[in-house]
Amino acid sequence: MENTNSYISGIGSYLPSQILTNKDLEKMVDTTDEWIVTRTGIKKRHISTKEEATSDLATKASLLAIEDAKISSEEIEMIIVATSTPDMMLPSTATRVQKNIGAKNASAFDISAACSGFIYGLSVAHQFIINGTMKNVLVVGAETLSKYVDWSDRNTSVLFGDGAGAAVVSRNNIGSKIIGFHLGANGNPPREWLMLAGSGSVNKAENILEEKKNFITMNGKEIFKFSVNILPSIITTVIKKYGLTIEDIDLVIPHQANRRIIEAAAERLNMPIQKLYINIDRRANTSAASIPIAMVDARRENMLNKEDIIVLAGFGAGLTWGSMLIQY
Ligand code: UT7
């Protein structure tokens, strides 16, 4: 089989209709709209209903991405769902999406790489396309983080939101060309820095509720320090790896964890802040879903122009990180 290029041929996103504002949060926990806006940039977030599972959000985003790619679900050969909030531990969320969208010719599996998951997923899809074994791979980032937030913990409850974004990666020479990527991980720092211990093999299922292991816990300061260093570093690495310079970059679409992290990266890179896309004010941190949701929002706001060189950059728990260079 001959080597070929890969392209993001379609994108789509879905945000649950329920919205929780900072003012709403003021009534739930000891915080203020002013604190949340100045420390994070977040004004509101979308929250799934009790009945909405991660696969439901993922399905809606996927159908839009498939329509955007102008293909049918049956043409999808692989489905990769990046999520930290899967429907269940077993089976995968991806197989549920496969059923829901009628992608009967697709294999399906989940990726656990926290907020870097979508970039990891795109990088896997890219391999199957460039080595010629597949024509269309669906990559989804989907989260229902609100179901794992301790609403009495102001350290975490103000930060997260729910949503899903999807992309079809294809061989068809239509859409944004994937130029290359850079991935990394460092498992040395304590898992407690950012953790959803849940019912994994480490914790006894019967103790989960009592020990509050069903909630996201975070050492905000450590994760903040990691994030402000890793974001500019992975942007620079992927740019240099493919022979480009900062001046060649038209737009960076970073994971939306905190507005201050993105502003610090802009400063460190000596880039005007307008070149780093920000939608955290209305989407909050949706982990694996944040980059594809931002891609759709940026397109809607006419911020993506033909031939633009764009960097996607994700970072998060694990620790994990990943950046990708695309030409729109
Ligand atoms: O998606 C992956 C990665 N996630 C991240 O990257 C998150 C990284 N971390 C952060 O974004 C920030 O560390 C936070 C937004 C979580 C916290 O911001 P901070 O500027 O680091 O605040 P802090 O933890 O240093 O707290 C400053 C003050 C403290 O009060 P004192 O000790 O100065 O009196 C906190 O108790 O703010 C207080 N505080 C709050 N006040 C009102 C902490 N959370 C809140 C809150 N509302 N929600």
Tens digit of pLDDT for each residue in 292-326?
Answer: 999 999 999 999 999 999 999 999 999 999 999 99
Contact 224, 258 (CB under 8 A): yes
Query: What CATH code is assigned to 7-175?
Result: 3.40.47.10
CATH class of segment(s) 179-327: alpha beta
Tens of pLDDT, residue by residue over 91-148, are 999 999 999 999 999 999 999 999 999 999 999 999 999 999 999 999 999 999 999 9
Residue ranges, comma separated, of all CATH 3.40.47.10 domains in the chain are 7-175, 179-327
Please state, in angstroms and rounded to a whole number, the distance separating the CA atoms of residues 102 and 83.
21
Please give the pLDDT value at position 217.
Answer: 94
Residues (pLDDT < 70) of the chain are 1-3
Q: Residue 226 corresponds to which amino acid?
A: F
User: pTM of the full predicted structure?
Assistant: 0.96
DSSP 282: H
Helix 220-241 and helix 259-269, axial crossing angle in degrees, nearest 10: 40
Atom 48 (ligand 1) nearest CA: 154
Q: Is the CB of 144 under 6 A from ligand 1?
A: no
Long-range residue pairs from 221-228, CB within 8 A, at least 24 positions apart, any chain = 222/189, 222/193, 223/193, 223/194, 223/317, 224/258, 224/260, 224/261, 226/189, 226/193, 226/315, 226/319, 227/257, 227/258, 227/261, 227/315, 228/260, 228/261, 228/264, 228/265, 228/268
Give the three-class secondary structure for 136. Answer: strand
Give catalytic status of residue 155 as yes or no.
no
Which residue is listed with tokens 């789509």? 12
Q: Which atom of ligand 1 is nearest to the CA of 154?
A: 48
Residue 70 CB partners (closer than 8 Å, separation 6+)? 9, 10, 174
Atom 42 (ligand 1) nearest CA: 31
Q: 283: buried, middle or exposed (CB in 10 Å: 19+, 13-18, 0-12)?
A: buried
Contact 85, 58 (CB under 8 A): no
Give catalytic status of residue 255 as yes or no.
yes
Give catalytic status of residue 126 as yes or no.
no
Q: From ligand 1's centre to the CA of 208, what distance in Å?
A: 25
